[in-house]
Structure 1
């Protein structure tokens, strides 16, 4: 039996209170004159979610004790989830309390139910995005179109009157659906997921592109490789993610970079075979054209964007392996630069660069002898600067630890540095470099390798 009518009516009366005001879709939603009203709405929304959680809990307990089926009809379940899932994620309208209540409520539903997911996507997501169809996606099948629907100016029309942006909770709802789709269910729901995902990913605002890249990452956890290839959406995603790395010099660019690089990497690993030329070419395009050729070339003065790219770099290097040697002329100078006195002093950037540099040394050990002088210069100057700062804060100590690791890795890749460069530094300034190098020089295996 369904939920009793009086409880069902009370539950449904709570749902309109959870409709998120379109004001929250503005980047500075809480910086304008309406801040007090928005804060009050957030407080009320948290109270309503808690009431909804208690009502569902009480109703479930009462109906189970009575031997009845506690579930609402499917369309009502979808209506509840569509409202509540908007609070399961990030957003200026979300508070810790409202998110906790939302998660508890959503646990009471069979999130992997194809009928429920189809009802949510077809009735609460698709109608909102229909006014702005993606020009390269067939809305009926979720397949890539050979040419833009609507002709050459379709993309321009696509960006006009984006009514979906007045529904700020939509990305969280789409995310909830994607995270709960099982591998075997993608075929049934594909045409309902791809249009909103591609609309977000190809939007002109970096914040929405970031949401789209995060959805791609979530999708790749369960979507079959065959579906991506057969529908052509895999290649469309690759192009969109590549374009995302050119959205630079914007406030949201660092967050977009942190999402787009892992998504692009995961897409390549998911859709290509290990050791194939196709995988190698795509990884080279990501590193050479995306990171080095776009971010590093055009954002050389944008420290947050540079750091974001360096933070995301190690997994890309690991995937490319020894193939990184073709990029040493770009990688080593860029990763050593933050260690030099002429660079902006930013401990987190230095630490991220050292970790990426460690990957380069490990993967490109046969060629590192050509770059050992540049690496030792940067490490030595950064070490001296950290000592001169006289600071013992956590970041400085972590930096010094990473500098020691780099020296160890370089000694393993180029054993001659122990007897030559390291020994020379200790001879010249033993007290300064003792902690950095003494343990390495004194190791028996290092002595044996260098002799």
Structure 2
């Protein structure tokens, strides 16, 4: 079996396969593609051998996992056929019990990262160290001589496969084997590996006991690492990183401080953590330092409803910056500035309208002070759209109507006063400012 496993070992050059551009036809790219196309056949050969062989020992199964599970993911070395073959092999020839998972993590995964120990994690217990091992600059050692990337490019897939099969009751026994490699991925300086670390953490949070996170101090370590993703700006993968990390942060906070037990003392901790994400991370960092990165701004705006729902009425603390940011894409450009018509810009406006409705509904008791500002932006947006249509006029119209419906529910006075005046001044606004009966029906 070892010879067959060796044939599916991922070439180390795949560690940097993302640097190869589609237009770069080189000997390396040709060789890697040829290898990739041969893998499904090699996996079928392995499956045929396993079908007629005796049952595998725990050690043999662990070798099978470390090799085959690397193909269970969306990676440049794994075709759809290869993924299917690898999943079939693992499902039919591996028993993912505690002894096997322990064997995989201890004998296969730990040696991969042996020379790259995380300076904040105790390798024997999985607890957070009271002080950084190796001194203040020890964290930089994680970024030097990262041999694990070349030796096992698909190691993150193996970790994800393993943690997906750990039961809640088994984490106490396996914690010291899970935390160190996952934190190395999560704290890596390359966004691609951070994304893999986040996906693994998200899966861990679905089954890990919250008390274990607190007792070992790993809850704070994970939160700090995830929040740190909010400063990884101006990178092609930044939108993907933020759209993945923010929901995972909320998932972590919900696990540690669920709404159901806030009256038992967890309210302040929940509030502080969510506020640090929305206030310091999104508003205070992303929206200021990446204001021209439309894709980055849009994905954070897409996360506003999730953050608003999690904070509840406490989000009024950030009502002003939220309203101003969400209204900004709705205003037409200044005189003399040509309008940019693109799918990306239209998606930003649609996302802003969706999130604005969420903010209005959550902060309805405080929104009256902003009703005229919101109506002004909504009216200008639609006039602008009618004069120079974009690519998603219908969706923008529906988004504007939803905002008006939410605002009408929060501030009923606009139905009798502001809306009739707007329609009288510009009749075309009737497309988004229907009569009072229609508005009340939409807001119910």
Normalised to the residue count of structure 1, the TM-score between the two structures is: 0.89
Q: Is the 8 A contact 2:287 2:297 kept in 1?
A: yes
Secondary structure of the equivalent of 1:365? coil
Q: Is this contact kept in 2: 1:121–1:193, CA < 8 A?
A: yes
Question: Is residue 408–residue 440 contact of structure 2 (8 Å, CA) maintained in 1?
Answer: no
Tell me which residue corresponds to 2:41.
47
State the partner residue of 1:374.
Answer: 373
Equivalent in the alignment of 2:134 = 150
CA shift at 1:328, angstroms?
0.9
Residue 7 of structure 1 is matched in structure 2 by none
- Residue 183 in structure 1 maps to residue 175 in structure 2: no
- 1:252–1:444 CA distance, 2 compared to 1 (3 A): closer
**Residue 248 of structure 1 pairs with residue 244 of structure 2:** no
Aligned pairs for 1:74-223 (under 5 A) are: 74-109=58-93, 112-166=96-150, 167-223=152-208
Instruction: Give the equivalent residue in structure 1 for 2:19.
Output: 28
Deviation at 1:281, TM superposition (A): 1.2
In 2, are the aligned partners of 1:325 and 1:364 still within 8 Å (CA)?
yes
Displacement after TM superposition at 1:115 (Å):
1.1
Report if aligned partners of 1:339, 1:381 keep a CA contact under 8 Å in 2: yes
Check whether the contact 1:30–1:38 (CA below 8 A) recurs between aligned residues. no
Deviation at residue 95 of structure 1 after TM alignment: 1.4
TM-score when scaled to structure 2? 0.90
* 1:267 alignment partner in structure 2: 252
Alignment of 1:312-323 (within 5 A): 312-323=303-314
- Asked if 1:363 corresponds to 2:357, the answer is no
Aligned to 2:276: 285
* Contact 1:111–1:180 (CA under 8 A) maintained in structure 2: no
- Give deviations 1:89-117, integer Å, cap 9, x for gaps: 12111212111222222222455411111
User: In the alignment, which of 285, 302, 317 is matched to residue 293 of structure 2?
Assistant: 302
Tell me, in whole angstroms, the C-alpha distance in 2 between the residues paired with 1:227 and 1:75: 28
Q: How much has 1:55 moved relative to structure 2?
A: 4.3
User: How far apart, CA to CA, are the structure 2 residues paired with 1:422 and 1:399?
Assistant: 19
Deviation at 1:134, TM superposition (A): 0.5
> How has the CA–CA distance of structure 1 residues 14 and 397 changed in structure 2, closer, same or farther, with 3 Å as cutoff?
farther
User: Are 1:327 and 2:350 counterparts?
Assistant: no
- Taking the aligned partners of 1:222 and 1:397, their CA distance within structure 2 comes to 42
Partner of 2:417: 420
Cα distance in structure 1, aligned partners of 2:275 and 2:439? 39
> Which residue in 2 is equivalent to 1:400?
397
Encode CA deviations 1:28-63: one digit per residue, 9 max, x unaligned.
14554221111111101122123334444x43xxx8
| 1:423 shift after superposition | 1.1
Separation of aligned partners in 1, 2:158 and 2:340: 41
Change (3 A) 1:379 1:109: farther
Offset of residue 296 of structure 1: 0.9
Q: How far apart are the structure 2 equivalents of 1:310 and 1:111?
A: 43
Secondary structure (helix, strand or coil) at the match of 1:366 reads coil
Equivalent-residue separation in structure 2 for 1:389 and 1:24 (angstroms): 47
The answer to whether residue 31 in structure 2 is matched with residue 37 in structure 1 is: yes
Alignment size in residue pairs: 424
Distance in 1 separating the partners of 2:386 and 2:164: 48
Asked whether the 8 Å contact 1:112–1:182 carries over to 2, the reply is no
CA distance in 1, matches of 2:293, 2:245: 17
Q: Which residue of 1 aligns with 2:336?
A: none
Match of 1:435 in 2: 431
State the Cα distance separating 1:314 from its structure 2 match: 1.4
Summarize deviations over 1:69-88 as a string: whole Å, max 9, x none. x5311111111121111111
**Equivalent residue for 1:8?**
none
Q: Is the 8 A contact 1:87 1:102 kept in 2?
A: yes
- Flag as ranges the 4+ runs of structure 1 deviating above 6 A: none
CA contact (8 A) 2:246 2:303 kept: yes
Cα distance in 2 between the residues matched to 1:255 and 1:12: 38
CA apart distance, 1:347: 1.7
In the alignment, the residues of structure 2 paired with residue 138 and residue 181 of structure 1 have an alpha-carbon distance, to the nearest angstrom, of 21
How far residue 207 of structure 1 moved from its aligned partner, in angstroms, is: 1.8
